[in-house]
């Protein structure tokens, strides 16, 4: 008897940190092939491109780094050094094999991120702010660790953006933001796909922290 590999429906159905650890531990081995390659996932590329276009620079935190697909896109654009943070040690083990991060941290969503105040020039994230995953409650902590003048570029699943109240949450930290840009992109490139998630979109949210 074989065990079914996790898929997007399993990811969207997560209800707790323990659920996430269990699903991503089982998915780590096949994530790059079954999801990134199999679904023609391109959101990480859009995040990396936006970060570079807006002048982002390192050191950069890749939040929800997973197996390092966003790091691969950033490295191809000469962005670094990179730090990885993720809830799944198994996903980070696969990320470590790519040799793109100087440090990797297994994090607890109930605790502040393990970085000093104003210690990073950039923060990026692809696919972590989505259904069943992180909500906007972490934004103040991200602003805490971002240096004045630093850039944060994150993707937020469009349905999650509305349902989880990201617009209000961003408004609550607006006094710390010098420049804010939000636009919508496709998550997948496979225009022939017909499943219910084939045409899902995400918001790319770019925030530059005010200089001191």
pTM score: 0.93
Strand pairing class (201-209; 146-157): antiparallel
Burial of 10 (0-12, 13-18, 19+ CB in 10 A): middle
Delimit the domains of the chain by residue range. Answer: 8-209
How confident is the model at residue 69, as a pLDDT? 96
Please count the CA atoms within 13 angstroms of the CA of 114 that sit on its side-chain side. Answer: 11
**Matching CATH number, 8-209, of 3.40.50.720, 3.40.50.150, 3.40.30.10, 3.40.50.280:** 3.40.50.150
User: How many Å apart are CA 174 and CA 158, to the nearest integer?
Assistant: 20
Residue-level pLDDT at 2: 42
151 membership: H or E segment, kind and range: strand 146-157
> Do you know the residue count of the chain?
212
pLDDT along the chain (212 residues), means of 10: 66 75 83 87 97 97 96 97 96 95 93 96 95 90 98 96 96 97 93 72 97 82
Which run of H or of E encompasses 163? helix 158-163
């Amino acid at each position: 008897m074989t065990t079914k590999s996790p898929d997007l429906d399993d990811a969207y159905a997560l209800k707790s940190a323990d659920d996430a650890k269990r699903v991503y531990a089982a998915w780590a081995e096949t994530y790059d092939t079954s999801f990134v390659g199999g679904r023609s996932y391109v959101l990480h590329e859009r995040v990396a491109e936006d970060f570079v276009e807006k002048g982002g620079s390192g050191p950069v935190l890749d939040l929800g780094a997973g197996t390092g697909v966003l790091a691969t896109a950033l490295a191809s654009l000469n962005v670094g050094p990179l730090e990885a943070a993720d809830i799944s040690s198994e996903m980070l083990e696969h990320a470590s094999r790519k040799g793109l991060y100087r440090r990797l941290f297994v994090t607890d969503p109930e605790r502040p991120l393990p970085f000093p105040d104003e210690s990073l020039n950039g923060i990026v994230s692809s696919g972590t702010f989505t259904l069943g995953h992180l909500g906007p409650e972490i934004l103040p902590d991200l602003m805490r660790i971002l240096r004045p003048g630093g850039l944060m570029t994150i993707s937020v699943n469009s349905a999650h953006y509305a349902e989880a109240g990201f617009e209000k949450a961003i408004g609550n930290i607006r006094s710390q933001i010098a420049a804010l840009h939000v636009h919508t992109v496709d998550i997948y490139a496979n225009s022939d796909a017909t499943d219910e998630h084939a045409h899902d979109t995400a918001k790319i949210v770019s925030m530059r922290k005010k200089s001191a």
